[in-house]
Amino acid sequence: MDGNFILNELVKEDSKIITGIYDKNFPLVKKFILQNKGNLEDAEDIFQKSLIQIIIRYKKEKFAISGSFDAYLFVVCKNLWRRELNSHKKRVTNVEKVEVRDEYEDSSYALIEQKRHELFTEKFAQITGNCKKILTLFFAKTSYEEIVANTEYTSELVVRQRVFKCKKRLTELILKDKRYNSLKEL
């Protein structure tokens, strides 16, 4: 099914669609969170918060999903979980002071991260197929040696130069977008 169709049905609170989303996506989110210092309760909370965040954002902005809904949901869950882990690192736990977490602030940061991801994905789609291939391998932490073996390039030096040029082109596209300044690190 189309990601935007699923999004519309999710907002309508279609129980069949919601059940399908849980059945299809929760196991992957649960696995990710369990592998990254979480437990089952954390996975359930993050999954639920992500769905709520998507619904609220869609009601406010009526955005479109360019890829699959499943991938979009997973990125939202991943970003929220990463934010949750980071907030635990900063938490003060002594008798005199206790840091109060602001749910609104957490949601705002997660929304900004999601918009950054969307900007990156959109600009990534605009680069050449060759650059997409080499950067996909590079971002997956594939060694330069393996990239040489999986492409038409003849040496690691050539691959390094190509990665540099492709990253530069992608960065230029992102920097030229008017949304960039509003999504920079705060």
3-state secondary structure of 98: strand
Give pLDDT, residue 33.
Answer: 92
Other C-beta atoms closer than 10 Å to the C-beta of 114 total 20
- Tens-digit pLDDT profile for residues 128-172: 888 888 888 888 888 888 888 888 888 889 888 998 999 999 889
User: Can you tell me the mean pLDDT for 18-33?
Assistant: 90
**Residue 24: is its pLDDT beyond 50?**
yes
What's this model's pTM, rounded to 2 decimal places? 0.53
CA distance 25 to 102: 27
Give pLDDT, residue 95.
Answer: 46
Give pLDDT, residue 181.
Answer: 77
Encoding tokens for residue 100? 């109060």
Give pLDDT, residue 106.
Answer: 57
Contact between 73 and 25 under an 8 Å Cβ cutoff? The reply is: yes
- Tens-digit pLDDT profile for residues 26-49: 999 999 999 988 999 999 999 888
Other C-beta atoms closer than 10 Å to the C-beta of 177 total 13
User: Can you tell me the mean pLDDT for 91-117?
Assistant: 59
User: Can you tell me the mean pLDDT for 69-75?
Assistant: 86
**Residue 100: is its pLDDT beyond 50?**
no
- Tens-digit pLDDT profile for residues 55-69: 888 888 887 777 788
Give pLDDT, residue 92.
Answer: 47
